[in-house]
């Protein structure tokens, strides 16, 4: 049986997900077909058709994460990036279930890179779907300061586990995380104002994106390490794979893919 999988988004032909899942399937002897579904609009219609026609699992990416969450979840402040189909034991109907691997995927990638998070000073830019998930995942372990361009949304955030960026004084920053896609001069200025030291690390969760160049330039000017989002993507893919099939790719394979940079 060949399982039908894919990733749904807009302007995502660059996605590395098909190659990653193909390698996972090969290692675990699971026959699958993972495709890129690049659409302009109406993601809910596509999703329903996908699962009604034999789909096993679907990853959701920009710009549809929050739209999908609003449709499939009561908690509309969170976004999904993984959808699965299962049969309800009582009604025997097929149901679609959503979850997010953003936070855990990011955390697992930190571990694989030996980047400690406990009690560190961390600044996160961008509180969209991925940013919120990452903040929720790491906020309990570190001193987290967040910033969001949309002031209205920024003012509605729950600051129990993290603080606003303007509460930061002159502390040395251990980790800078960018979850933004649009880079402007003001954002660059905010990053450059941070008290970055030689041991600081900068991470852009995007990959193959124009934002990578901007943050690489900043990290080079401060002589600090810089990472893009491929590692997080691989960890997210492994988590999705586990949700769909109940088995996970080996650590050896994940590290091999990361080291080869796909």
Q: What HEC string does 178-193 produce?
A: ECCCCCCHHHHHHHHH
- Helix or strand run (H / E) with residue 98: strand 94-99
Q: Is the pLDDT of residue 236 over 90?
A: yes
Q: Do residues 96 and 107 both lie within one domain?
A: no
What domain range is 72 assigned to? 3-100+232-260
Contacts of 51 (CB under 8 A, 6+ apart): 58, 83, 85, 94, 96
> Taking Cα atoms as reference points, which of 6, 10, 18, 16 lies closest to residue 207?
16
Q: Do residues 114 and 218 both lie within one domain?
A: yes
Pairing of the two strands 225-227 and 163-164: unpaired
Question: How many domains is the chain partitioned into structurally?
Answer: 2
The Cα 85–Cα 96 span in angstroms is: 5
Q: How sure is the predictor about 153, in pLDDT bands with cuts at 50, 70 and 90?
A: confident
Q: How sure is the predictor about 79, in pLDDT bands with cuts at 50, 70 and 90?
A: low
Q: Do residues 55 and 8 both lie within one domain?
A: yes
8-state DSSP, 171: P
CB atoms within 10 A of CB 212: 18
Average pLDDT, the chain: 90
The Cα 45–Cα 159 span in angstroms is: 35
Q: Do residues 81 and 122 both lie within one domain?
A: no
Domain of 174, CATH number, reads 3.40.50.720
Q: Do residues 69 and 86 both lie within one domain?
A: yes
Q: Do residues 89 and 120 both lie within one domain?
A: no
Q: Is the pLDDT of residue 62 over 90?
A: no
Q: Do residues 203 and 223 both lie within one domain?
A: yes
pTM over 0.85: yes
Q: Do residues 39 and 137 both lie within one domain?
A: no
Q: How sure is the predictor about 181, in pLDDT bands with cuts at 50, 70 and 90?
A: confident
Q: Do residues 163 and 81 both lie within one domain?
A: no
Q: Is the pLDDT of residue 75 over 90?
A: no
Q: Do residues 120 and 223 both lie within one domain?
A: yes
Q: How sure is the predictor about 84, in pLDDT bands with cuts at 50, 70 and 90?
A: confident
Query: Residues of the chain with pLDDT > 70: what percent?
Result: 94
Q: How sure is the predictor about 115, in pLDDT bands with cuts at 50, 70 and 90?
A: very high
Q: Do residues 142 and 236 both lie within one domain?
A: no
Distances (CA, A) of 137 to 129, 172, 205, 232, 251: 13, 22, 15, 14, 21
Q: Do residues 239 and 215 both lie within one domain?
A: no
Q: 127 burial class (0-12, 13-18, 19+ CB within 10 angstroms)?
A: buried
Q: How sure is the predictor about 156, in pLDDT bands with cuts at 50, 70 and 90?
A: confident
Q: What is the pLDDT of residue 77?
A: 53
């Amino acid at each position: 049986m060949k399982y039908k999988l894919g990733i749904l988004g807009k302007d995502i032909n660059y996605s590395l997900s098909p190659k990653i899942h193909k390698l996972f399937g090969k290692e675990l002897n699971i026959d699958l077909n993972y495709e890129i579904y690049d659409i302009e609009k109406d993601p809910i219609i596509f999703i329903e058709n996908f699962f009604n026609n034999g789909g096993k699992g679907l990853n959701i990416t920009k710009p549809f994460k929050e739209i999908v969450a609003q449709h499939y979840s009561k908690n509309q402040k969170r976004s999904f990036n993984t959808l699965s189909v299962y049969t309800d034991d009582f009604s025997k109907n097929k149901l679609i279930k959503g979850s997010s691997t953003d936070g855990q995927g990011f955390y697992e990638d930190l571990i694989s890179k030996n980047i400690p998070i406990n009690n560190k000073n961390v600044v996160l830019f961008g509180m969209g779907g991925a940013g919120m998930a990452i903040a929720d995942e790491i906020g309990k372990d570190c001193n987290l300061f967040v910033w969001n361009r949309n002031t209205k949304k920024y003012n509605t955030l729950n600051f129990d586990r993290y603080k606003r960026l303007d509460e930061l004084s002159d502390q040395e920053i251990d980790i800078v995380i960018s979850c933004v896609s649009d880079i402007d001069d003001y954002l660059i200025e905010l990053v450059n104002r941070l008290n970055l030291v030689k041991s600081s690390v900068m991470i852009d969760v995007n990959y193959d994106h124009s934002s990578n160049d901007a943050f690489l330039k900043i990290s080079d000017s401060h002589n600090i390490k810089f990472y893009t989002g491929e590692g997080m993507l691989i960890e997210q893919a492994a988590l999705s794979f586990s949700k769909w099939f109940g088995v996970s790719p080996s650590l050896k394979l994940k590290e091999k893919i990361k080291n080869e940079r796909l």
